[in-house]
Amino acid sequence: MKKQMIFFDIDGTLLDHDKKLPVSTKKAVNRLKELGHELAIATGRAPFMFENLREELGIHTYVSFNGQYVVHNGKPVFQNPLDREELHLLTEYSKGIDNPLIYESHDKMYANVENHTYIEEGIGSLKITSEPIYNPHFYKNNNIYQTLLFCTEKYEEEYRDRFGKFEFVRWHEYSMDVLPAGGSKAKGIEALIKHLNIPMDHVYAFGDGLNDIEMLSFVKNSIAMGNAEDRVKEVAKYVTKDVNEDGILKGLQLVGLLDEEAV
């Protein structure tokens, strides 16, 4: 088989519902590398939130912040930070209704409040070791590739109506990703495959979340996890098993990238 490029989401795709890496997934990834394929991670997470996973899998190419910061073999090849003036307006507005923010740079995250239940719940669900640093002014002089807005669903439309330069994508009961308008994993993938001159026919992607919809719609050979929401499955070309049922391995077999005896 010719060299293919395969993108993997993290939460609910590479990592199971307990944020563990299934043994079958690790073996499948190692086999893909042995076969000479190009592998990449495509995630809403900041790079510092999955450094250990990159090391464990030996994958050093990634689309992070839902497409806003793209790295190939450790070197940035595409960056798309949030509009600073619009971010200031968002900060002032959200502060007035007790909706805290976390500003994410490529190596750290900074909160504009010292403590908040929504932040504890949202960040806690990721099961990472990093904690936000209190610095409400960090965004003023630094590139922010993604902001986490902590609010309930009742505020969603209000934010979308007020801040047209941003996209809002919910990932937790108490939190939404804030991206540049038009930003998505698909945009980051597009930038990377153009940089590497890889034809679309040779690109695959696995995902399960709402922030994977654009990616799975854009990539010709797209695979939704069995645990994905119905609207995510609807845009994918294929649907594999649940992440807890060897979904990555079975998905790779389904599309012919691995045979039944490969792992």
Give 50-106 pLDDT, tens digit per residue.
Answer: 999 999 999 999 999 999 999 999 999 999 999 999 999 999 999 999 999 999 998
Tell me what pLDDT residue 155 has.
Answer: 96
Which string of DSSP letters, residue by residue, matches 83-126? PHHHHHHHHHHHHHTT--EEEE-SS-EEESSS--HHHHHHHHHH
Active site residues: 9
Cα distance between residue 190 and residue 132, in whole Å: 30
Residue pair 82/137 in contact (Cβ under 8 Å)? The answer is no
* Fold exhibited by the domain 84-180: 3.30.1240
Cα distance between residue 115 and residue 29, in whole Å: 39
Q: How many other β-carbons are positioned within 10 Å of the β-carbon of residue 234?
A: 13
Spans of all domains in the chain: 5-79+183-254, 84-180
Model confidence at 262, pLDDT cuts 50, 70, 90, reads low
Tell me what pLDDT residue 224 has.
Answer: 98
The mean of the pLDDT values for the chain is 96
* Fold exhibited by the domain 5-79+183-254: Rossmann fold (3.40.50)
Tell me what pLDDT residue 1 has.
Answer: 67
Tell me the pLDDT tens digit for each residue of 16-37: 999 999 999 999 999 999 999 9
Tell me the pLDDT tens digit for each residue of 198-251: 999 999 999 999 999 999 999 999 999 999 999 999 999 999 999 999 999 999
Tell me what pLDDT residue 83 has.
Answer: 97
